[in-house]
């Protein structure tokens, strides 16, 4: 195992930056797709389809691994593993193990194929500047709204809705009064 992973650890700089939640989700989507592309060609019965993860990605926290559970790929940007590191290193490590398990189900978890996938993912993260924050989206400017104006407009809409309901109720009541008078005349005869 150490021989396989010396190569992987050499790809990382000292103390890589921690990703934000948004960066971790965006990066995990790309890394999963990339990791699955390193696998063997799919069988001919798949008719040209490649390996693909079809579930959704969600952010998690605490002591949870970056892994799939019930069709959801959970990503934990802050998890620290004593033998791997934290942040991008842990995300890359766990995605490589997940992809290795999925692509080579009978293989040893720390064999050369998993180390190869992890090395390629680590190189991709470093080469594309993800450690410097290239995946960060600019923050959306917050539009300041006047809460009093919003409440005033919602009050006007509520009044309009209730007036419409009142009008309908009065129409229905008028029709029922007509029907009542009709039946009173019919029954009186």
* DSSP strand pairing (85-86 vs 56-59): unpaired
Per-residue pLDDT of the chain (189 residues; tens, 9 = 90+): 455 677 778 888 888 888 998 999 999 999 999 998 887 766 655 554 556 888 899 999 988 889 999 999 999 998 877 777 788 999 999 999 999 888 888 888 888 888 899 999 999 999 999 988 888 888 888 888 899 999 999 999 999 999 999 999 999 999 999 999 999 999 987
Say if residues 53 and 28 touch (Cβ distance below 8 Å). no
Q: Are strands 80-81 and 67-69 parallel, antiparallel or unpaired?
A: unpaired
- DSSP string of 23-43? HHHHHHHHHHHHHHHTSPPPP
Buried b (16+ CB within 10 A) or exposed e, 16-32: beebbeebbbbbbeebb
């Amino acid at each position: 195992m150490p021989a396989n992973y010396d190569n992987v650890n050499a790809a990382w700089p000292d103390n890589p930056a921690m990703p934000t939640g948004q960066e971790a989700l965006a990066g995990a989507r790309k890394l999963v797709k990339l990791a699955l592309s390193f696998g063997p060609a799919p069988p001919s019965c798949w008719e040209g389809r490649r390996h693909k993860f079809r579930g959704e990605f969600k952010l998690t926290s605490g002591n949870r691994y970056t892994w799939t559970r019930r069709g959801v790929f959970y990503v934990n940007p802050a998890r620290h593993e004593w033998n791997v590191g934290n942040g991008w290193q842990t995300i890359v490590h766990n995605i490589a193990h997940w992809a290795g398990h999925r692509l080579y189900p009978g293989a040893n978890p720390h064999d050369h194929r998993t180390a190869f996938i992890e090395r390629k993912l680590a190189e991709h993260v470093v080469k594309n500047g993800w450690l410097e924050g290239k995946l960060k989206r600019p923050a959306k400017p917050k539009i300041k709204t006047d809460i009093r104006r919003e409440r005033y407009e919602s009050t006007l809409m509520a009044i309009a809705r209730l007036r419409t309901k009142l009008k309908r109720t009065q129409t229905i009541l008028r029709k029922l009064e007509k029907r009542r008078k009709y039946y009173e005349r019919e029954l009186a005869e």
